[in-house]
Amino acid sequence: MATITLASPDNPEGRRAIPIYLYVTVLSSLSIMVGLIWDISWHMSIGRDGLFSAPHLAIYLGGVTAGIFSGFNVLKITFAGTQEEKNSSVKFWGIFYGSLGNLFCIWGAIAMLTSAPFDDWWHNTYGLDVTILSPPHTILLLGMITIQFGAIISVLAYQNLGSETRSFSSTKSFNVLFALSSGFVLGMIYTMASEYLGRHEMHGVTFYGISSLLFPLLLTAFSISSKSKWGATQACLVYSVLMMAMGWILPLFPAVPRLGPVLNPVTTFQPFDFPLLIIFPAIGIDLIKQRYGNLNRWLLALVFGVCFLIVFIVVQWPFANVLMASKGHWFFGTSKWYFGADPNWEYRYAFPPWQLNSLKEWAIGSLVALLIATLSSRVGINWGNWLKRIVR
């Protein structure tokens, strides 16, 4: 899969060195996330963009870099690698050898590059997108998340191989790389679903149903597959810091709308959403894994699902009131508003009545959300155990 460090007088146990392309792949995932959040802010603040706008370049830089380094690693192993490296790699197309993470990154890069001219044509033909999940954006997002999964798989393959002989410093480095790569995936999934997870939806049952579908799957998988005791918590910490940092940094730069009508004349970049408080159920999931990790998988999934849903409602519901009360607060980014929307909308800082539910709807919705969270956790357990076995 990459260079293997053999036993020597200075390295008697033959520990594997951390390859450069792992760092590059994780940094590529970060570049993709920065570009994506910046692009959303660009559309909210400026509107008009082009194929080579600054946010797009940040996204493409991440995709191209991950693709090039992964492609180079595949060619290196295929044509100049040792037999040991080939035996520890995946053979594909009958010719090439590389890691599973390499393949994910290469296919993700191809999808991203394919989406670029498609997106440009889409804008020229149909104008601005009114949704995040337009056809070209869907291809782009699939490419980006494929690269991010490639980063996770690449890190885990090295983490899982020979961990019993790994030094403390390298183990710590792998934990950091895994926390970063998994945190960026959390950010990507949240961004893809953000149209349904905004502060106006936080007192509605649909918000918790969608959250129960997405986050228990990821949190349980990250908790189980990480060598750290706090895999899910660390991933959420990275996600939270990234989202907050982007929300604080972007408004520092000027931005003027270039399309009309301009109902809200902004003068700076509008921040993205404040992160959800999923770090609290993540802490609960990590604690449950540490104490009851050997339970029957269905019972463990139920415990994970109950923990996620209860803790998330307890912290996110009152926090939604804080967000609504913090009108224009820089810390929470609640001043954000699309330049084409009326800034005096009566529900700008209030929950719209059509987003609220009756007691009966909550009773039924909560049971459905619990079922979804349990099934999501069950899939996450299987996925996490699969990730623990990856060595190629």
Q: Give residue 122's pLDDT.
A: 65
Is 357 within the bounds of a domain? yes
Rounded CA-CA distance 283/307 in Å is 10
**Per the omega criterion (within 30 degrees of 0), is the bond before 271 cis?**
no
Is 8 within the bounds of a domain? no
Q: Residue 204 is part of a domain; what is its CATH number? A: 1.20.1450
Rounded CA-CA distance 184/150 in Å is 12
Number of compact structural domains in the chain:
2
331 and 361 fall within a common domain:
yes
Is 190 within the bounds of a domain? no
Of 50 and 96, the one with more pLDDT: 96
69 and 209 fall within a common domain:
no
Q: Give residue 121's pLDDT.
A: 66
Segment 354-361 mean pLDDT: 92
Which of 154, 182, 210 is the last residue before a domain boundary?
182
Rounded CA-CA distance 250/239 in Å is 17
**How does pLDDT run across 21-47, given as a tens digit for each residue?**
788 888 989 999 999 999 899 989 998
159 and 208 fall within a common domain:
no
CB 109 within 8 A of CB 143: yes
Segment 209-235 mean pLDDT: 95
**How does pLDDT run across 326-353, given as a tens digit for each residue?**
888 899 999 889 999 999 999 999 999 9
Determine which of 167-171, 288-292, 359-363, 367-371 has the lowest per-residue pLDDT on average: 167-171
The model's confidence at residue 134, banded by pLDDT at 50, 70 and 90, is: low
CB 225 within 8 A of CB 390: no
The model's confidence at residue 127, banded by pLDDT at 50, 70 and 90, is: low
Q: Give residue 74's pLDDT.
A: 83
Q: Give residue 7's pLDDT.
A: 36
Q: Helices 231-249 and 205-225, interaxial angle, to 10°?
A: 120
Tokens linked to 258? 């270039």
168 and 271 fall within a common domain:
no
101 and 33 fall within a common domain:
yes
Average confidence score pLDDT of the chain: 85
Domain that holds residue 145: 15-182
259 and 161 fall within a common domain:
no
Which of 135, 157, 182 is the last residue before a domain boundary?
182
Q: Give residue 353's pLDDT.
A: 93
Q: Any residues with CB less than 8 A from the CB of 344 and at least 6 apart, and which?
A: none
Is 304 within the bounds of a domain? yes
Q: Give the length of the chain.
A: 392
Which of 127, 157, 182 is the last residue before a domain boundary?
182
- Share above pLDDT 70 across residues of the chain, in percent, rounded to a whole number: 88
The model's confidence at residue 5, banded by pLDDT at 50, 70 and 90, is: very low
211 and 328 fall within a common domain:
yes
Of 125 and 333, the one with more pLDDT: 333
**How does pLDDT run across 60-99, given as a tens digit for each residue?**
888 888 888 888 888 888 887 778 777 777 777 778 787 7
